[in-house]
Structure 1
């Protein structure tokens, strides 16, 4: 079976990696635009005539529509064609990302951030759902980690490339961040159309015909992920993924009433909140640590945080798959590293050497962030697939990701630039960092509670 899953890896992981890389770039480049070309007054705030708090509001508005539409998007993906639905998401993200070039004021900024959240809703939990169609949950964390590295590479690359976009400031009447929005948006749009041909659709049981509906009637049939003996072996190894697509509202109700998603939700709330907070305000935090950094230097220093994040993913997630019964342990240790890094970046001091020590604290935060989100999403599939089948993964992963992203609303809206008084404290942003430390402790507590409760109640299939 290892050879069969290797073939699936080569077919699924590369397009997943690229789509996540580009969608992450489009979503996060607003954070970098805050510190681009500040000397010429062409940073996001100055160009649009908005305040730092309005920037925070726009960052948070993305998650309003994202949270509301996560579950409906994932349910639609389950009922329709997973590959076509993911391609639709990427095409829509490319369109909205390109349209951000035209922003002229706060109203346009707010509307486009709301639209971006609406069209991207369902992408991340949808990718987890897609994997469960091809892999058993015990094999998933490593693979979620593989394509989740795209977010970290994206953050690093977007940070580095933004230094180049700053040099394009003023060319053809566009400021630096507008060039950044334009290029990333157009590339994402092109990839979205390519995905229609590249991604396989859900696997079919032997003798089963591909369903033709309004969503795929005029699209080319994707090439099957596996053929011949490989397809038969895969069917025998993962029959559950082939036979539980016809769910009902009653099935959905059982998932929504299952208490097991609450601890997973709290776990996700903390780590994704901290991750998106650091991603959105990384350059702002660095500027506060050392106000003498230029815009280019901030972009270059921002990238290594996400390289450390990537290293955390590729080192920890494979081990967590091998010891898959100890998910809480491999979640909690990296989360404790995040707490340690935040304490260092807050209290290391203000001398020249201490400022670099605070930067090292951010690198530690990056390493700790890496494996926590893939492990949470894998644990969700691991718990809900045997209990509820495909609808369990579709609904639970969307609930965990959607409601969990309320943590991103907190860190993007209420902390850092969204909390002006906190920038005047000493150490700078001490309040924001302690809020993040608090929600990380809550995440660790939830993972421990989940482990204990599963030992008491078990995780038998629904109805047994």
Structure 2
């Protein structure tokens, strides 16, 4: 009789466990992701507002295109130098305090940018903005490894990154409108861009300090059984999938897999930042007003948001593994590269703009599945350091783009020719990405890691 009832009992237990898991993930998603998304939206607006302020700031301060490009790019240098230490520190002190500190300091620096007096001050403040924000994006990626099992992370990263493209859309509409405040209270329009976008970060820092939990254990809105399910599920993944936790977190920087991912990731931010920073300038070349420019620039980022939702969702629903999973990174990158190239060679402003919309969707939607990879082999402080290292090196692409694009524009006197450079970099990165992700799977096989763990989304 016992032999007859055990299978049914096991089935009920499995069903109950699955139901508990679904309920837990749904609760965490609804409670956590809107706040993280709002934080990233504000962060990205404060990072990108320079692209709209630039439309008047360059003339007001007497900056050349190349000088502006250098100043804008210094953000990424500050980010690069301080990102790994910032993320390791986050793992020690917790997300709540560290994220609140990050938001307060970047909001303050953004407001100070509104009172820029000259080139040197512009350079210093852009560098300090990168220092202030260092650790935020990789910090959230690390935090997601504490809250979500591997199978859910790519979709959560996709939802989180949707905030970045929505920030481009919101920033486009708001940035164009704020330029119209020129002369109000004796301030120029470009000054209002910084003042109005820096304030929300200061307010949100207070909200984060009181609302954001450090991890599942401190989440009052999770039931005890939900906390227990998250703990045992995530720990089981780490134990069974060959994860590494180096004794010294900075040793993760020497991990060959981290170095490979960092080396190829640089191409994705290079294209994404090059396009998002330069797009308002391209659209202005079509002969539109600042206000129209802002609203027109909403369009590509809404398309990118749809792509960020669909690509990781498609990867998860189709059970993509191996090369199929790789193509969810490489495929969008190649589409983005094609869009950038076609925007230069095809005639007509409408067609060119449509190509740039496709390019934005491709460059951004390649990233969620990519960012699910480090979590397959790193854990703990090593995961914090490794993710930060990949992102910090990759974001040097933003530094390259912000200098190369204005230089190419100055040399060619064309707003669109720089898109060929971004296209070539993105296409080369897609090819290298295919090789590197294939190498990572072979490495996982040699280590005896199950295929589903090495390529899960």
Query: Deviation string for 1:197-224 (max 9, x for gaps)?
Result: 11111233xxxxxxxxxxxxxxxxx643
* Shift, 1:461, TM fit: 8.1
* Shift, 1:161, TM fit: 1.5
* Shift, 1:49, TM fit: 2.1
Instruction: Name the counterpart of 2:453.
Output: none
Instruction: Name the counterpart of 1:274.
Output: 271
CA contact (8 A) 1:162 1:299 kept: yes
Whether 1:410 aligns to 2:423 is no
Instruction: Name the counterpart of 1:229.
Output: 225
CA distance in 2 between counterparts of 1:282 and 1:20 reads 20
Instruction: Name the counterpart of 1:283.
Output: 280
197, 220, 232: which one pairs with 1:184? 197
Aligned residue runs from structure 1 range 210-229, under 5 A: 223-224=219-220, 226-229=222-225
Instruction: Name the counterpart of 1:97.
Output: 110
288, 306, 313: which one pairs with 2:301? 306
Instruction: Name the counterpart of 2:129.
Output: 116
Aligned residue runs from structure 1 range 60-459, under 5 A: 60-204=73-217, 223-224=219-220, 226-239=222-235, 249-250=247-248, 252-253=250-251, 255-288=252-285, 290=286, 292-322=287-317, 323-325=319-321, 326-349=324-347, 354-382=348-376, 384-385=377-378, 389-415=379-405, 417-424=406-413, 428-430=415-417, 432-458=418-444
CA distance in 2 between counterparts of 1:59 and 1:19 reads 21
Deviates more, 1:373-382 or 1:401-410: 373-382
Whether 1:48 aligns to 2:61 is yes
Kindly tell me: are residues 94 and 421 of structure 1, through their superposed partners in 2, closer, same or farther at Cα, counting changes over 3 Å? closer
Kindly tell me: are residues 188 and 250 of structure 1, through their superposed partners in 2, closer, same or farther at Cα, counting changes over 3 Å? closer
* Shift, 1:396, TM fit: 1.6
CA distance in 2 between counterparts of 1:247 and 1:329 reads 29
Deviates more, 1:153-162 or 1:441-450: 441-450
Task: State TM-score, norm by structure 1.
Answer: 0.86
Kindly tell me: are residues 420 and 366 of structure 1, through their superposed partners in 2, closer, same or farther at Cα, counting changes over 3 Å? closer
Query: Deviation string for 1:396-450 (max 9, x for gaps)?
Result: 21111000111111111121x233444425xx542x2232122212221222212
CA distance in 1 between counterparts of 2:245 and 2:279 reads 43
Deviates more, 1:390-399 or 1:231-240: 231-240
The number of residue pairs the alignment matches comes to 423
CA distance in 2 between counterparts of 1:369 and 1:455 reads 23
Deviates more, 1:363-372 or 1:53-62: 363-372
Instruction: Name the counterpart of 2:455.
Output: none
19, 25, 28: which one pairs with 1:8? 28
SS in 2 for 1:102: coil
CA distance in 2 between counterparts of 1:343 and 1:321 reads 30
* Shift, 1:458, TM fit: 1.8
Moved over 6 A (4+): none
Query: Deviation string for 1:250-292 (max 9, x for gaps)?
Result: 4542x2222112332233211111111111111112234x2x2
* Shift, 1:334, TM fit: 0.7
CA contact (8 A) 2:253 2:259 kept: no
Kindly tell me: are residues 142 and 99 of structure 1, through their superposed partners in 2, closer, same or farther at Cα, counting changes over 3 Å? same
Structure 1 stretches lacking a partner, 5+ long: 36-42, 205-221
CA distance in 1 between counterparts of 2:408 and 2:136 reads 30
CA-based RMSD of the aligned residues comes to 2.3
* Shift, 1:226, TM fit: 1.8
